[in-house]
Structure formats: C-alpha cells, structure tokens
Amino acid sequence: MVALMIGVLTFVALFLDMAMDGVGRLSWDFFTNYPSRRPGQAGILSAWVGSTLVMLTTAFFAVPLGVAAGVYLEEYAPKNWVTDLIEINITNLAGVPSIVYGLLALGLFVYQFGFGQSILSAGLTLALLILPVVIVATREAIRSIPQVIREGSYALGATQWQTVRYHILPYSSAGILTGVIIGMARAIGETAPIITIGALTFIAFLPPAPVKAEPPFISFEWLMSPFSVMPIQMFNWTSRPEAAFHANAAAAGFVLVLMTLAMNGLAIWLRYRLRRNIKW
C-alpha cells in the first residue's frame, strides 16, 4: 500500500509541477505561433500540425496492415512453420527499442527509397512501430468471438471472406479500435525514431496544404515536406539553457500529456464498456 502511494504521489507531484510551470504559457497564441528565438512569442503551430499529419499517415498504413495481419493469423493461418515464424516475429518486434526503428527508417526509407526526411518517412516508421500493438489487439478481439457465429455464417452458405467481412470484423471493431487508439497514443509521444530520421527541431513554416483551389484539388505534396512534431519541439525547448524556454517546454509537455491521457483514457473506457455490454 505504501509503495503504491509512493508511486502515485511521485506522479502527482511531477505532473503538478509541470502544470504549474506550463499553464502560464498556454494561450491561443501558443497554438497559433511558430517557434521563435524569443520564448515569449514561441508557439507550437508547426509542431501540432506536423504531429497531426504524421498521425494521419501512420494510421493510414498501420490500421489496414495490422487488421489484415490479425485477421489472417486468427482466421486463415494454417498451423505450420511460416505461421510460427510470423508470430515469433511479432512478439520480438514488440520488444525492439524504438530508436532501432529510427535507424531502420534512416537506412531504408530516407536513403534507400529516397523519401527523404519527410512526413511520409516518419509516418511509415511509426506505422511499423505500432503494428504489433494493432495486430495483438485485433487478434484478441477476434478470438473473443465464439465459434458458433462462424458456424452459423457458414451454414447459411457464406464463404470465408463473407464471414470475415460481415461478422468477424463488425463484431471485433470496438476491440480493434481500442488497440488502434492505444497504438496512436504511443506513436504521438515517440520522439527518438523521429529525431533519428532527421526531423527539424526549428521549423517556421507549414507543409503545403492538402486542398488546393485549382484541379485536381487534392495534393499530396505535404507527404514529402520537412516537418516537426510535438515531442521534438518539447525536446528542443527542454535542452535550451534559458529558463524561459523551459516554461514553453512545460506547456508543450502539458498539451502532449493531456492528449495521450485522453486517448488512453478513451481506449480504457471503450474496453470497459465492451466487457460489460457484450453477451453472446
């Protein structure tokens, strides 16, 4: 009990300290200003826009791949050495330090494939990083669907894919969503792999807008744009010697923590609801 209290109290002290340092800097301007040499005017505009775009890219790759892999392993995979290999791989990947993913991305995406130090490289890196989380969540959600459902579907003449498409996926969607949110919460706070691929720490412009006035209206130029993200902005401010920047770091950290706590909280709440409501 005492140990638990020590742990909880330390955390409360830490967060209160950060909130007190940072809250003074939180204002509308903080979200709409670019970083600046003058701490009083610096803001997180390019950081949060960068984070949002990277998250979009990550989700675009990680969710379909992760769900498809999870479905394959639960519904299709035969029991043989290939399946074993894939499963061992996923377990091992979950334990690889995130900075190693950064090195992979630096060698492969940035130089080999020539994506450069872009939003696309960062999104792909984080997608690989959270893939195990999405796969494991998908598998658990699918595993909790009773066999009866599948047999009922087959009995009505559905093929395997129809069973997956109309029964397995809809019934497991809430569980999958939980896993996706937890994975995204992890990705948004990841700093090390993104620094490794060479994200800029000081950036005073936004990536090109995805929507244009002239046809074809939608542009993907932003994928190749240099960028910065929230945790890197915070890192940059923390490692400066001036105390005024530390207040900025505290404010950015406060926003970041609120974002991840909200995402994780949502996931935990979803799972809690799920456990109560489902009765097969």
Per CB under 8 A, which of residues 102..141 are in contact with other proteins? 102-104, 106-108, 111, 128, 131-132, 135
Q: Which is nearer to other proteins, 92 or 219 (CB)?
A: 92
Q: Which stretch binds other proteins (CB under 8 A): 1-9, 42-50, 144-152, 204-212?
A: 1-9
In this chain, which of 8, 23, 204, 209 binds other proteins, going by CB under 8 A? 8
Q: Which is nearer to other proteins, 204 or 262 (CB)?
A: 262
Q: Would you count residue 12 as binding other proteins (CB under 8 A)?
A: no
Q: Would you count residue 226 as binding other proteins (CB under 8 A)?
A: no
What's the DSSP call for residue 279?
A: -
Q: Would you count residue 1 as binding other proteins (CB under 8 A)?
A: yes
Burial string for 246-257 (b: 16+ CB within 10 Å, else e) reads bbbbbbbbbbbe
Q: Would you count residue 19 as binding other proteins (CB under 8 A)?
A: no
In this chain, which of 265, 273, 275, 278 binds other proteins, going by CB under 8 A? 265
Q: Match 């807008």 to its residue by tokens.
A: 209
Helix, strand, coil percent content, the chain, rounded in steps of 5? 75, 0, 25
Burial string for 92-109 (b: 16+ CB within 10 Å, else e) reads eeeeeebeebbebbbeeb
Number of chain positions touching other proteins (CB under 8 A): 79
Residue 65 buriedness (CB in 10 A; 0-12 / 13-18 / 19+): middle
The 59-98 site mask, x for binding other proteins (CB under 8 A), equals -----xx--xx-xxx--xx-------xx--xx-xx-xxxx
Q: Which is nearer to other proteins, 198 or 210 (CB)?
A: 198
Site for other proteins in 194-223 (CB under 8 A): 195-198, 201
Amino acid (1-letter code) at residue 57:
T
What's the DSSP call for residue 138?
A: H
